[in-house]
Amino acid sequence: MEEGNAHKLPVDPFEHTLDNETKIFRTYMQNCYEDQCRRYGPEKTYNEDTKKDDNNHFGNLTTVDQGVPTIDPLSPYYVHPSDGPTSVSITPVLTGSNYHSWARSMRRALGGKMKYDFVDGSIPVPTDLDPLFRAWSRCNMLVHSWIMNSVTESIGQSIVFIENAVDVWNDLK
């Protein structure tokens, strides 16, 4: 690696397609990464060792509950700051007779936010004691709300009390 690029995150070949908010967030994260590299060296960046250091004020930003990565945009547990209960909009909503086209649209929307794994069963439900549980629970609730907001009220009433997004998805099939 060249001297000036020793502590740089990989360059995204699709950088030109990103919105300004994402570019600002990436710049912020790059600055955090470079600061951690200066403090601890690149081999200790974003790991449990840096979280334990009393001087590290990035521990809670980069990890949650014993080192679970939540800021890596490639992680299924990553939630963008703009993602909220209404940030996925599927039209037309599921009425029952349009399941196949609705499911295809929902798969695309969930896939675009890297959350389809929560409804296809790829990500198992962690135990309450698992460090992944809080991150999984947050994403599961978010996916469930996206589904709830994309179905008719009567269908919503039939799935509102189902806890797991994969069970909601399977119930709608």
DSSP string, 33-70: HHHHHHHH-GGGTTSHHHHH-TT-TTHHHHEETTTEE-
pLDDT digits (tens, 9 = 90+) for 6-58: 555 555 566 566 677 776 777 766 666 666 656 655 554 444 444 444 444 44
- CA–CA dist 48, 53 (Å, integer): 9
pLDDT on residue 83: 87
pLDDT on residue 53: 42
pLDDT > 90: percent of the chain: 43
- What's the whole-number average pLDDT of the chain? 77
pLDDT > 70: percent of the chain: 61
Residue 7 and residue 37 in contact, taking contact as beta carbons nearer than 8 Å? yes
Residue 65 and residue 134 in contact, taking contact as beta carbons nearer than 8 Å? yes
In the chain, how long is the greatest CA-to-CA distance?
Answer: 61
Q: For the whole prediction, is pTM greater than 0.75?
A: no
**Nearest CA to 75 among 29, 117, 42?**
117
- CA–CA dist 89, 126 (Å, integer): 28
